[in-house]
Amino acid sequence: MTQQQKIFAVGDIHGNFEKLSRLIPRLPFDQARGDTLVFMGDYINRGPQTADVIAYLIELKQRLTKVVFLMGNHEHTLLMYAKTGEEGLLQLLRHMKVEETLNSYHRETPKSLSDLSFLPDAHRDFLTTLLPYYLAEGYLFVHAGLGPGKRIEDQQIDTLVGSRTIFHDNNEDKHDYTVVFGHIPFEMPLVTPNFIGIDTGASYGNQLTAVELPTLRFYHA
């Protein structure tokens, strides 16, 4: 990353299209400068506008050269249920308020979750191509967290998208990067010497947050 280039990371959206559509135009993102836009996962469930959120993100993907979409635990759970049909995963999806996602696609029954048939092809392709993590310019972007004692390449996907360990207080492992994560909602962004948490609870009535790096400037909607 040159001195001028920026990375913008956006926290957990959870079907909040109105907040997303207000936040993105506020970012001083400059494609010509070589800026990168990273989304931290959890695009679906809880909020009422998942279909609009994913359509918006697909449009950004088509328009921007450097945009990265990470997988969150909500997307991972949905994909694993479609793959395995495990009843426990369906119960978890219901706890995650997957009905809000189905309603946004005008589908009222969870039956179509088992084969993802409620999703348009482009939306299904979007969800199945999400990345487990993104490493760039001294920053590791990951939805949830890291397991101790393992290289990033050896981490399990369940840990990357679902860990709730408050690993910003764990000094056991030292890394050559700053970890930027979502998943754990804070009232305000969390900043420590090695970790930046940017899930500020958009699905709970709080703000949707983005961070500009390396300047560590925050934007909200």
Query: What is the per-residue pLDDT across 195-208, written as a single tens digit (0 to 9) for each?
Result: 999 999 999 999 99
Q: Is the pLDDT of residue 169 over 60?
A: no
Q: Is the pLDDT of residue 111 over 70?
A: yes
| pLDDT level of residue 49 (50, 70, 90 thresholds) | very high
pLDDT at 174: 60
Give the 3-state secondary structure of residue 5: coil
Q: Is the pLDDT of residue 168 over 50?
A: no
Average pLDDT over all residues of the chain:
93
What's the average model confidence in pLDDT over 83-107? 96
What's the average model confidence in pLDDT over 95-120? 92
CA dihedral 72, 117, 61, 103 (to 10 degrees): -70
What's the average model confidence in pLDDT over 13-25? 98
pLDDT at 1: 58
What's the average model confidence in pLDDT over 110-135? 95
133/153 Cα distance (integer angstroms): 9
What's the average model confidence in pLDDT over 118-143? 97
- The enclosing H or E element of 67 equals strand 67-69
Q: Is the pLDDT of residue 109 over 80?
A: no
| pLDDT level of residue 3 (50, 70, 90 thresholds) | low
DSSP state of 74: H
pLDDT at 107: 83
Contact of 211 with 195, CB cutoff 8 Å: no
Question: Fold for domain 7-70+132-220?
Answer: Purple Acid Phosphatase; chain A, domain 2 (3.60.21)
Give the start-to-end residue ranges of the domains of the chain: 7-70+132-220
pLDDT at 176: 82
Contacts (Cβ under 8 Å, ≥6 apart) of 24: 10, 60
Q: Is the pLDDT of residue 149 over 90?
A: no
CA count, 13 A, side-chain hemisphere, 183: 27
